[in-house]
Amino acid sequence: MSETNKMTLIASKGTFDWAYPPFILASTGVAMGKEVSVFCTFYGLNLLLKDLSKLRISPQGNPAMPMKMPFGPKWFQAINFGPKIPNVMWNIPGLELFATSMMKKTMKNNGVATIEELRQVCIEMGVKFIACEMTIGLFGYSREDFIDGIEYAGAATYLDVAHHSTQDLFI
């Protein structure tokens, strides 16, 4: 494959919402004929965990997050509760889980694939995932925590891959 058709992503975030952009771009990139490598570092390692169900979206310190209910009559669903709820409320245990389940429901209603589905498509289509060895040690993970078929390497490996690529995104 020509060098002009390679793409790399650095996935550095590990919340439920930020799991989407790397998987969407990686799978679409492969679908469009690119050879895609995703370097997962720091919180981005979460994307490679066997169990993705623990990923959360947090409304805390996240004022851009629209908060609309995925059920009820149309007028009710149109209300954005985000600016109406004091941010300190999100300190209450369980509300982060609630917000995550509301977001999952909203995504389902809108025909957005789950992160598990998107990751599976990425793997089937040949996206190469590289887990950052340094952050695995730093955060006390072991290789058993991660899915099979991924590579383990460091910054130099990423930079070498990126050297031959024309599209590189930090997410």
Kindly state the tokens that stand for 161: 């891959």
Binding residues for another protein, per CB under 8 A?
Answer: 24, 27-28, 30-34, 110-113, 118, 121, 125
Minimum separation from the CB atom of position 125 to another protein (A): 7
Q: Which residues of 79-118 are buried (b: 16+ CB within 10 A; e: fewer)?
A: eeeeeeeeeeebeeeeebeebbebbbebbeeeeebbbeeb
In the complex with another protein, the residue whose CB is nearer, 24 or 150, is: 24
In the complex with another protein, the residue whose CB is nearer, 11 or 131, is: 11
Minimum separation from the CB atom of position 5 to another protein (A): 9
H and E: helices and strands count for the chain: 6, 5
Minimum separation from the CB atom of position 82 to another protein (A): 22
In the complex with another protein, the residue whose CB is nearer, 27 or 100, is: 27
